[in-house]
Amino acid sequence: MAIRHRGAKPHRFAENPLLRLALPVWRAKFVGVGLLALFVLLMGKAFYLQVINNEFLLAKGDSRYRRDLEVPASRGKIADRNGDLLASSTPAKSIWAIPGDARLEPLQAEALAKLLGQDVKALERKLAATGNFVYLQRQVAPEVAAQIAALKLPGIHQDTEFRRSYPAGEVSAHLVGFTGVDNKGLEGVELAFQSALMGTSGHRSVIRDRRGQIVEEIGNMRPPQNGEDIRLALDSRLQFLVFSAIREAALEHRAKAASAVVIDVKSGEILALANWPSYDPNKRAGLSGAALRNRAVTDSFEPGSTLKPFPVALALEKGKFRFDSPINCAPGKLTIGNATISDAHAYGELSVAQVIQKSSNVGVAKIASTFAPREMWEMYDALGFGTSPALGFPGEVGGRLRPWKNWRPIEQATMSYGHGISVSLIQLAHAYTVFARDGDLIPLSLTQLAEEQVPPRGVQVFSPQTVGEIRAMLEMVVNPGGTATRAQTPGYRVGGKTGTAYKLEGGVYTKKYVATFVGIAPMSAPRFVIAVMVDEPSAGQHFGGAVAAPVFSKIAAGVLRSQGIPYDVNVQVASGQGGAL
C-alpha cells in the first residue's frame, strides 16, 4: 500500500521515515554476545549435570522407575523331636494394585472380589485409595493367584511371599504359636525363636514402567538367607495324647479350662504342653483372647495341697521330723491368731507320711510352724517359685512369692498347703522334678538336646535320702487310704499329690475351684513328671483326686507305654487268666 502526501514523492508504508529506528551498532553486538554466553552457560550446566555431577538426574530417574525389591527369606521349619513338621512355610502370593491404573469394569470387579473372598464395595474402596500402591490381599493361595492372573486386569499385580502352615493345628497351637502376615512370630515358639527362624531377606533392583511391570533387572541381586530350622523336645504323639485327655476332662466336668505338662526328668525336656480351649493357627479369624492364652505358662493360680510335699521335705532335710514322726491333728482344726485352719476330715494322730497321704492341712501347718520364715522362703525360691521360668514364651509369669520379712504366722501356715502363694503349671511341674531326680533342680528345655549334649547341672535343693522318703509318701497318696487312688496306672508304680484350691478373685476367695494333680512315673525308676490342672470344674465334682488324678492316669499310661518303659508291677491280662506282664 502506498501513501501519497501533497507535493511529496509517493513511498511505501514500511518505508515511512517516522517508522525508521536507527539502533547503535554496539547494541546488536551486545545482544549477540549475550545470547552466545547464555548458550555457553546452558551447555556448561548440561555438561555438569550429565557428565560431572550426574547423581541428581540419576536419582530423579530412579525415583520414577527404579524399585528396590525385597526378596523374602523362607522362615525356618519347626519340627518335633521325631522330625514331624509342626510349622513350615509354603509359597504364596500377595495381590496389590496401582489405584490410578486399576480401572475395572463392574464384572471384572465382581470376579476379582469373588476370588479374593471380599465384598465388592470393600474392594472398590481399596481401589479408590490415593497413592501408587495398595494391598488387596496377602498370602493368597497359588491356585487362586493363577486364576486372578488369568483375568489380566489392568493395574492388578502379584508378588511372591510365604505363608505359614501348621499341620498339627489346635493340638500344639499354644506351644508352637503362629506368625502374622508379615511372617514375624506373634506367639509361642514362633515368637520365642523369632531371630533364628526369621532369616535375612535378600534384595534386587529393577526398572518398572508406570504400570508396575518389571522391564529390566539392574545391579547384582543379594540372595536371601533362609531362617534356621528348630527341633523341639516336643513329641507329637504324646502331645496328641495329652491334648485329647485334657479336652475330654474339660468337657466331662464342664470346666472353664484345662492344662497339662509332661517333662522328661533326665534331660529337663518338655515332651508335651497342652491347653484347652485351643485354636487352629491356620484359621484365626474371630478368636478370643481366652483361646489364645497358653495357660500352662501365662496363668498363675494357688496350687493348694500339691505344695505340701515341699515343707515336709524341708522338715526331713533339717532333721526336725522323720518319716514316721507323729503329728497330733485332732480335732481337725488349728487356730492361729484370729484364723482357723481345718481338715476335710477330723484326723487324730498321723505320721508325717500320713499327713501327705491324707492331705492334712493341720498336720503340714504344724510342721511349717517349726521353720523360721526365711528358711521356708529360701526353699520356695530355690524351687523357682516367684521367678519366671525363662523359657522365652511371651507372657510367661513368675507367680507370687511374698518377701519372708512380711509373713505373719497364719500366712506361713497357709503357704505350707498352697494358699497365699501362686505358681504357673509349668513352675509346679518343674519343682516336682526334684523328687523325680536326686533332689536337684535342672533347667527346662523347649528344644531337643543333642545326643552328645550333657544336660546342665542342677541346683541341689534336697538330699537323695530326703527325696527317697518323699517318693514313698507320694506313692502312698495313690494307694488305698490316699486321696488319689484314681491316679493308679495299670502295670506301673506311680505317685503324686492332689490339690484342690479355692479361686481368688478381686482379693476374695470364691466357691470356684482349681483341681490339680502332679505325679511321677514310674516310681521304681522315675522318668516323667506329669502335671494336670482343671480350672473351675462344675459338673458336681471339684476335688483334685476326682477330677485331675484320672487325667494323670490316662496320660501316664500312654506316655509310659509309648516310650517303651517296662511294667514294674504285676497286671492281669485282658482274658482274666492272670499273669505278670
Contact 355, 363 (CB under 8 A): yes
Q: Which residues contact 378 (CB under 8 A, 6 or more apart)?
A: 404
179-259-495 Cα angle (round to 5): 140
Contact 159, 139 (CB under 8 A): no
d(CA 157, CA 49): 35
Q: Which residues contact 571 (CB under 8 A, 6 or more apart)?
A: 490, 491, 580, 581
Judge whether 524 counts as a catalytic residue.
Answer: no
φ/ψ region of 573 (left if φ > 0, alpha if ψ in -120 to 50, else beta) reads beta
d(CA 187, CA 284): 12
**Any idea of the CA torsion for 12, 14, 16, 21, to the nearest 10 degrees?**
-160
Longest dimension (CA), the chain: 159
d(CA 93, CA 404): 58
Q: What share of the chain is helix, strand, coil (3-state, %, to 5)?
A: 35, 25, 40
Contact 503, 510 (CB under 8 A): yes
SS3 492: strand
User: DSSP readout, 107-173?
Assistant: HHHHHHHHHHT--HHHHHHHHT-SSS-EEEEEEE-HHHHHHHHHH--TTEEEEEEEEEE-TTGGGSH
Contact 430, 306 (CB under 8 A): no
Strands annotated E in 286-443: 326-328, 333-336, 339-342, 349-351, 440-441
d(CA 186, CA 233): 21
Catalytic residue among 305, 416, 422, 553: 305
d(CA 297, CA 294): 6
d(CA 361, CA 50): 90
d(CA 74, CA 383): 40
Of 327, 310, 254, 321, the C-alpha closest to 534 is 254
With b for 16 or more beta-carbon neighbours within 10 A and e for fewer, the 544-574 pattern comes to bbbbbbbbbbbbbbbbbeeeebebebeeeee
What's the sign of the alpha-carbon dihedral 390, 391, 394, 395? negative
d(CA 304, CA 409): 18
Q: Which residues contact 506 (CB under 8 A, 6 or more apart)?
A: none
For the annotated catalytic residues, the residue numbers are 305
